[in-house]
Amino acid sequence: MVQFIARGLNTSFNGADVAPDGQFEVRGVAPGSYSIMVFSGSEGQILSARQSVTVAAADVEGLKLTPSRPFTVSGHLRFEGWTSTHAADLTVSLRPSADADDQSSSIASDGWNAHVDRFGNFQWTNVTPGNYVVGVYREDGSDSFLKSATLGGSNGDTGFSLTGPAVIELVVGSRGGVLEGAVLENDKPASNVSVVAVPEEKYRKLHERYGTGATDQRGHFTIHGLAPGGYTIYAWQDLDEGLYYDAAFLKSQESNGVTLKVEEGSRQKVELKVSPVGEQWQ
């Protein structure tokens, strides 16, 4: 089976069967940028391949895709400032990169989760080729953060490509930055306002790098577990969930945020005003 998926969407709308000789043809594709995916095999033995393609005013011919088997990615997580007994509290995630061209790069578009054993080991199975990012979560809301990700000796902090079995090394710190403060609207405390710490641009496809909080009835908020680095802090009222991941939206908000630098173990205070949101984003 072949599927065409518009970049930035996870819904296929064109498809075709593959002939015994491997040939396929998809008709009625509107001009635009797509990911073309092919699947073969039965459940439990699915092979897949993906390729980007741009359709203009003419037919696209001669595409060649080679399906490959899913594979396993193993890893080890090392703690800084913790003992190994904390390992069972952690979940590590592997998910497709948030780049528009990568949102359809995997059969399991929501990604994979794995628990870490008491020795720091974990494993993701049935992974398909694509571009990915990794995240680490702890249920108790501590100040832990992902300090580094290394794949085959290369830095994978901002994402990496997987084409086959691999081993990844993660380092988790226990002293993430803490940000607290107040939000005002018309010089009065603003309650139930979303506060978002947006990381510097190179980390913006890593949703785990964002820090989020909400104000209480006194307009106060606290955000825990920020990785060291530069951030812009915003306060928004009734903003659609996840809109702050949109690069165009952030561009429209550049003049409304407060920038600061977070250090490991730092605790900072900031006062914010509710940022106006244009009608086109409501």
Residue pLDDT, tens place only, 200-228: 999 998 888 999 999 999 999 999 999 99
Residue 62 lies in a domain: no
Interval 166-180: pLDDT, tens: 999 999 998 999 999
Amino acid identity at 163: T
Provide the CATH number for the domain around residue 239: 2.60.40.1120
3-state secondary structure (DSSP) of residue 147: strand
pTM for the full predicted model: 0.76
**What does the pLDDT read at residue 97?**
80
Q: Which residue has the higher pLDDT, 113 or 34?
A: 113
Interval 233-268: pLDDT, tens: 999 999 988 899 999 999 999 999 999 999 999 999
Same domain, 168 and 188: no
Report whether pLDDT(109) > 70: no
Residue 95 lies in a domain: yes
Question: What is the extent of the structural domain holding 132?
Answer: 71-173
Same domain, 84 and 164: yes
Supply φ then ψ for residue 239, to 5 degrees. Answer: -85, 140
**What does the pLDDT read at residue 105?**
40
Residue where a domain terminates, one of 156, 173, 190: 173
Same domain, 152 and 194: no
Tokens of 258: 């407060």
3-state secondary structure (DSSP) of residue 164: coil
Count of beta carbons in the 10 Å neighbourhood of residue 205:
19
